Structure 1
Amino acid sequence: MGMKHVKTVACTLCGKQYDPEQVVYTCDEHDGVAGILEVVYDYDVIRERFEATVGGPIPNQWKYRAFLPVNETAEIVTLNEGGTELFDAPRLSDALGVRTLIKDDGRNPTGCFKDRASSIAVTKAKHAGREIITCASTGNAAASLSGYAARGGLDCRIFVPGDAPAGKLAQPLVYDADVLAVDGSYDEAYDLSVAVTEQYGWYNRNAAINPFQIEGKRTVGHELADQSVARGEIPDWVVFSMGDGCTIAGAWKGLREFYELDFIETTPKMLGVQAAGAAAIHDAFYDHDTVDDVAETLADSIAVGRPRNTLKACRALEQSGGASVLVSDAEILDAEALLGRTEGVYAEPAGAAPVAGVRTAREQGIIDADETVVVVTTGFGLKDAESAQKAAGSVERIAPSIEDVDRRYGDEQ
């Protein structure tokens, strides 16, 4: 059956079309990576194939296989990603002054949201007969891709900036990937990963240029719509942190598709959150001048100086009637601790940034007190334990005696 549900892959700038069955990254009519591509679907075919009940159980993201750009004959490489719960967060709601729900994608198999895309990448690479897969990463994509490459039997070669957190690099090493720490920034690691792709023909998973990666990420939008139907309400806002821009763009595409297919009656507004030291998408959305392309933030997963999917991210914010806010590193750390102590959710800094973003949006009058908000946490806290210690403080040491405990808690008795 091939991919009859996929019409084409088209350039977002000039509209030039490419065969969706070929390995293609960006439009050759534009220099560098300017010609970002978009997968275009035949929704009549998708509607016929999507037999799952909207509002019903979501075992994993492959409930939405009818929407995904993989060949019908492809062997799916999966670790049971997706299907993460959407749950009420009453204590966090009290702290933020607005009703808040959490979708914790740190519960994915390798501990991050990127598993949704990595499953697609390895599935497509294997179906295309590629034996080596690569990407650039600040850590999460490296861990995610390495795990799925191991599952699919592919060799994996990862390029990371030299200051990537050690906790994130341990994962790909366990998965037997080659991890190459580049003496430079994420953007330099990214450029190198593109160069080796062109020279050696390795399959490149970089979500910023691989048009099929954002399609896996959009399943979070499908799930949010699906879960909202089950709950009987559509949230007013859905909040994501932004790095390269493909995550929020993918989520919006999934939500919009369910609306256009009449599965939901309305769509939420998207709130994008960036660290103040890595604000390129925010600046582009509000037509601010970007000072430079150097990213400076402890939230390494969104430390991107030159986002490749700014166009798609800004389009998601605009089409949804949404907004963007900036938060400081201190506010991100405060949000990480707040998320943990109120709801027992342990998120890495980039995963906690949406909580800081909601607080900022409330202060700026973007989000009203009578609205409902969903924050999507995209990575598990153990990815960056060093930042967690900054957020929560250090261990208190005592002697092995009841007297020391009594000095600490005796007044409570």
Structure 2
Amino acid sequence: MTMDHVDALECTLCGAEYDPDQVIYTCPEHEGVKGILEVTYDYDVVHDRFDAPLDGVVDSQWKYAAFLPVHDDAEVVTLDEGGTDLFDAPNLSDALGVETLVKDDGRNPTGCFKDRASSIAVTKAKHAGRDVVTCASTGNAAASLAGYAARGGLDARIFVPGDAPTGKLAQPLVYGADVLAVDGSYDEAYDLSVDVTDEYGWYNRNAAINPFQVEGKRTVGHELAGQTSARGDVPDWLVFSMGDGCTIAGAWKGFREFRDLGYVDDAPKMLGVQATGASSIHDAFHGHDDVDDVADTLADSIAVGRPRNTVKACRALEESGGTALLVDDDDILDAQTLLGRTEGIYSEPAGATALAGLQRALAEDVVERDETVVVCSTGFGLKDTESALDATDGVTAIDPRMEDVRDLYGSAE
């Protein structure tokens, strides 16, 4: 039973180190969940273990098993997550006036980016002998964890805010999870999930505090490093929406690792995008003190008032030379339909938030027209059809008569 490529779990606040073989979520030297832990590695060992070709071909995230904090004897619980397509987007590029590629992580097994983390969570939980996994979620993590728990033969007990989209709750229910709708916000559901973890000893998948979850998410950085370099060049920018901050932190860590190990020549700047109604990471990065911890945005997957991974997210933005921007809900809906009608990619609002951020960045000259950009869509649009309908003109009702069609489109001659 070895995990010799992992050095420690290191507190992002005080630098205290902990044994990575134990189940620990945050540094006990700090009150609450402030002492977020970072997985550190012996990269000499990682490099010796990693022998996959950097050809841009990725079947699943387990191509990068040498980088993942999993014991050699662990039974990997997988649905072939990761390995998502990086699309050329010529129509979108023409519309924006900048060369743009789209990484569509809505093509993961349960329809969202979070599958990269859930595979790690259930693998770790099963190896630790835990029978029950839990998390708080606005919907995507709930569905993701429930699907992987079913695959791994574990029970899932999920806490969601009472206003979570019903379409997203159907998934975990079908996967057999107990879905507990909390009469309150996501942050209140989150706090309750932490309390039950302490009382019942369930394995907590919350990516904001479980240090191993960001490690699964960072495989998107590995994939993008390989996929873009195989095309000839590393992009100037990677654009992600931000909720708890885990996704952008993981993406940067993965790409940076490949640069530092010499697998690719450079690393991109990170552009983190939040909704104006859930702007805590943006505000922290720009040094604002008047932070409102109540989230209010239709992009439910990033509707987080009190992000737990602000430190890691801000570090990714700073280290990469990137920045954070805000967009409003109308911008998000416009970006959702723009991506759909130009490239046939159906993204949920949180995924389209990244594209809305790129549009804002272009308008404010943050991104230059001669640069290259990768936008990551983190979730499939069928997760939230109500918001998508709000973004369109809706269905046109007609009678079953040719005259009605001619009224719309004119004569065929």
TM-score by length of 1: 0.99
Could you tell me whether the CA contact under 8 Å between 1:119 and 1:148 is conserved in 2?
yes
Distance in structure 1 (CA, Å) of the matches to 2:160 and 2:215: 24
CA distance in 2, matches of 1:352, 1:290: 27
Alpha-carbon offset, residue 96 of structure 1: 1.3
Residue aligning to 1:332: 332
Residue type of the partner of 1:324?
Answer: A
SS of residue matched to 1:273: strand
Within 2, Cα distance between the matches of 1:340 and 1:382? 12
Q: Alignment partner of 1:318: what SS? A: helix
Q: Distance in 2 between matches of 1:19 and 1:375?
A: 36
Show the counterpart of 2:283: 283
Provide the secondary structure at the position in 2 that maps to 1:392: coil
Q: Within 2, Cα distance between the matches of 1:199 and 1:251?
A: 33
Match for residue 21 of structure 2? 21
Instruction: Give the C-alpha shift of residue 412 in structure 1.
Output: 6.5
Give the distance between the partners of 2:86 and 2:215, measured in 1 at CA: 21
* Corresponding residue number in structure 1 for 2:60: 60
Could you tell me which amino acid in structure 2 is paired with residue 223 of structure 1? Answer: E
Q: Is the CA contact 2:398–2:404 (under 8 Å) kept in the aligned structure 1?
A: yes
Alpha-carbon separation, structure 1, partners of 2:25 and 2:298: 30
The letter of the residue matching 1:364 is E
Taking the aligned partners of 1:96 and 1:325, their CA distance within structure 2 comes to: 17
Judge conservation of contact 2:56–2:228 (CA < 8 Å) in 1.
no
What amino acid does structure 1 have at the position aligned with 2:151?
A: R
- 1:88-147 Cα distance to aligned partner (Å, 9 max, x none): 101111111211000000000000000000000000000000000000000000000000
Q: State the alpha-carbon separation in 2 of the partners of residues 384 and 411 from structure 1.
A: 37
Question: What CA distance in whole angstroms lies between the structure 2 residues aligned with 1:119 and 1:392?
Answer: 35
How many residues are aligned here?
A: 413
Contact 1:55 1:228 in 2 (8 A): no
Mapping of residues 235-254 of structure 1, within 5 Å: 235-254=235-254
| 1:280-316 deviation digits (Å, cap 9, x = unpaired) | 0000000012342000000000000000000000000
Q: Which residue of 1 aligns with 2:218?
A: 218
Q: 1 CA distance for matches of 2:187 and 2:95?
A: 36
2:357 corresponds to which residue?
357
8 Å CA contact 1:280, 1:290 repeated in 2: no
Give the whole-Å Cα distance in 2 for the aligned partners of 1:296 and 1:289. 19
**Deviating 4+ runs (over 6 angstroms):** none
Q: CA deviation at 1:21?
A: 0.9
Supply the AA of the counterpart residue of 1:107.
R
Pair 1:369-2:376 in alignment? no
Offset of 1:393 from its aligned partner?
A: 2.4
Find out whether 1:43 has 2:43 as its counterpart. Answer: yes
1:198 lines up with 2:226 in the alignment: no
Q: What is the root-mean-square deviation in Å for CA atoms of aligned residues?
A: 0.8
Q: How far apart, in 1, do the equivalents of 2:7 and 2:290 lie?
A: 36
SS of residue matched to 2:355 = helix
Describe the SS at the equivalent of 1:32.
Answer: coil
Counterparts of 1:20-169 in structure 2, within 5 Å, are 20-169=20-169
Partner of 2:314: 314
Normalised by the size of structure 2, how large is the TM-score? 0.99
Provide the rounded CA distance (Å) in 2 between the counterparts of 1:77 and 1:410.
56
Uncovered stretches (5+) of structure 1, i.e. residues with no partner: none
Distance in 1 between residues matched to 2:97 and 2:180, nearest whole Å: 44
Partner SS state of residue 38, structure 1: strand
In structure 2, the gaps of 5 or more residues are none
> Is the Cα–Cα contact under 8 Å of residues 84 and 107 in structure 2 kept in the other structure?
yes
Alpha-carbon deviation of 1:56? 4.4
1:261 matched residue in structure 2: 261
Deviation per residue, 1:134-169 (Å, 9 max, x gap): 000000000000000000000000000000000000
Determine the structure 1 residue equivalent to 2:304. Answer: 304
Is the 8 Å Cα contact of residues 56 and 223 (structure 2) preserved in structure 1? no
Cα drift, residue 37 of structure 1:
0.2
